[in-house]
Amino acid sequence: CILLSIHTDWQDKARHEVEQVLQGNPPDYESAARLKILNMIVNETLRLYSPQPFSLRIVEKETKLGNLKIPAGTNIEIPFIAVHHDPQEWGEDVDDFNPARFAEVVAKASKSSRAFMPFSSGTRVCLGMNFSLIEAKLTLAMILQKFSFTISPNYKHSPACRATTWPVHGAHIIFQNL
């Protein structure tokens, strides 16, 4: 909602898609799959402001990773959000909100196919990934059907990455009935 309040062009595009696909009906599991622009917006939001910005691991036995020899017992931080802000992966507009980068399959949005990992990756990928993506799209679709929204003039952009990513000074969104 913060990003769509600032980038009202994307809010308009998203609402247009919701109107076209849902025709005034409430969204459901099947229609969520057809909300492509909402999908792009949710992915771009997860890239820029990854709710879980990093993960931690302990190396159990000595491991070779490329040229690195990592001793057993080493604590490793995997900074998803740093990878999500790497210009070599995403290009010079890395810090911009540009959902269009996710217009094709996710693997093609970045230079290497696995740079997008807001839910981690591999065998311990988030168990709630599909649930969360559908829930986010359904909720956003219902909001877009009923309201237009802008951000308070007092809003100060202040995202913080602690255990989760959150706006330190809050985010007051002004909703208007459509």
Residue 115 phi/psi, 5-degree rounding, is -80, -10
Nearest approach in angstroms of CB 34 to ligand HEM is: 21
Contact in structure between 2 and 167 (CB atoms under 8 Å): yes
Residues annotated in a binding site: 126
Token duo for residue 12: 């308009």
Tokens of 140: 């956003």
Q: Which is nearer to ligand HEM, 127 or 178 (CB)?
A: 127
Residue 25 CB, shortest distance to ligand HEM, in Å, is 25
CA dist., res. 29 & res. 16, Å (int)? 19
- Name the residue number minimizing CB distance to ligand HEM: 128
Nearer to ligand HEM, 31 or 132 (CB): 132
The binding site for ligand HEM (CB under 6 A) comprises: 51-52, 55, 118-120, 124, 126-128, 131-132
Nearest approach, Cβ of 23 to ligand HEM (angstroms)? 28
- Cβ contact 84:47 at 8 Å: yes
Q: Whole-angstrom Cα distance, residue 96 to residue 81?
A: 14
Q: Which two three-digit tokens encode residue 177?
A: 């009935």
Q: Which is nearer to ligand HEM, 150 or 161 (CB)?
A: 161
Q: How far apart are CA 11 and CA 140, in angstroms?
A: 10
Residues in the annotated binding site for heme: 126
Closer by beta carbon to ligand HEM, 31 or else 55: 55
